[in-house]
Chain A
Amino acid sequence: MSKDIKHEIREARPKLRDVSPLAYWDVLVMGWFNIVLGATFIFGIDETRFAASLLIVNELFTFDFWGVIFILIGLLKLYSLRINNWKLSRSTLFLGVSVKAAWMIALTIRTFISPGTLFLNILWITIALLQIGAYIWFMPPSTASYNQRKKDR
């Protein structure tokens, strides 16, 4: 597909920001949050300072691994907004929900077995719930169905 056609398609779609501002801001903020969090995992965390890790079970699932995952999800979110692809925004939001839910559960368990992560847990649960809420109530299903509804009206 040529660049012109891609551009035209992008312009033809209604902007996510116009259709669902809350979903747009959630994807944008979460995108940057994921990038910052991922970068922090890779560059800013000294693993030796952690008495117990969260989802790190071997040499593969390290903080670096999760850092890369979070950065990728964040970049994908921003890219989906850039090309105004609702489906991709929705998928990345769902991916974020899944990863955040895994971390949320791990942090909750950790809160009970090693005190000191309660505040972090509450913060993380809030972020996860915000993302879940945005996905359930504010993220439109697809551009096609939105256009169909608009036509019907």
Chain B
Amino acid sequence: MNEVIISLISMIGALGVAYIVNVASKKVQAKKAEKQPKDRMEQMFDGYERLIKQKDVEDDRKQRYIKTIEEELRLTKEHVGHLENALEATKDELNESRVENAELRAKLDEMREEYKIVKQENLDAKNK
């Protein structure tokens, strides 16, 4: 009976050892493969990748610049709009003021004329 138990333990243990050895071997091979120096093509690809990354950074910078300019443009347009409104309002005010001035001048002339007449009548009355 002992023989059977020893054999079974040995066989199961051997399977375990074989598994561990196999896994360890694969890990060692994988590490060895990682340590291998890169070939020229891979180095070239890495160089291209670095260039693309640099371009990406440049593009991001341009994107930020575009956003700033757009914001400036929006503010400027808003400011131009305000100025146009102000210009229109000022022109209207000017026209109204001119019309008022003309009316006032006309009234003044009329009042002068009336005063002249009244003054003449008063002088005539005194002389009589």
Chain A: residues with CB nearer than 8 A to chain B? Answer: 52-57, 61, 94, 97-99, 101-106, 109-110, 113, 132, 135-137, 139, 141, 145, 149, 151-153
| Cα distance A101–B14 in the bound complex, in angstroms | 5
Q: Closest CB of chain A to B43's CB: distance in Å?
A: 11
Q: Closest CB of chain A to B32's CB: distance in Å?
A: 9
From A54, A57, A97, A149, B4 is in contact (CB under 8 Å) with A57
Contact in complex: A153, B36 (CB < 8 Å): yes
Known: A57-B3, A99-B14, A101-B14. 20 other contacts (CB 8 A): A54-B6, A94-B22, A97-B21, A98-B14, A101-B18, A102-B10, A102-B14, A105-B10, A105-B13, A105-B14, A105-B17, A106-B6, A106-B7, A109-B6, A110-B6, A132-B21, A136-B21, A139-B25, A151-B39, A152-B38
Contact in complex: B36, A149 (CB < 8 Å): yes
The SS class assigned to the A binding surface is: helix
Chain B: residues with CB nearer than 8 A to chain A? Answer: 2-4, 6-7, 9-11, 13-15, 17-18, 21-22, 24-25, 28-29, 33, 36-39, 42
Contact in complex: B3, A153 (CB < 8 Å): no
Contact in complex: B13, A149 (CB < 8 Å): no
Given contacts A152-B39, A153-B36, A153-B37, contact A105 B9 (CB under 8 A): yes
Contact in complex: A153, B18 (CB < 8 Å): no
Among B4, B9, B18, B38, find the residue whose CB has the most chain A CB atoms closer than 10 A: B18
A-B pairs, top 7 by smallest CB distance, nearest first, are A102-B14, A101-B17, A105-B13, A106-B10, A101-B14, A152-B39, A98-B18
| Cα distance A137–B14 in the bound complex, in angstroms | 19
Residues of A within 8 A of B17 (CB): 97-98, 101, 104-105, 132
Which residue of chain B has its CB nearest to the CB of A98? B18
Residues of B within 8 A of A104 (CB): 17
| Cα distance A56–B2 in the bound complex, in angstroms | 11
| Cα distance A94–B7 in the bound complex, in angstroms | 20
| Cα distance A110–B39 in the bound complex, in angstroms | 53
Contact in complex: B3, A53 (CB < 8 Å): yes
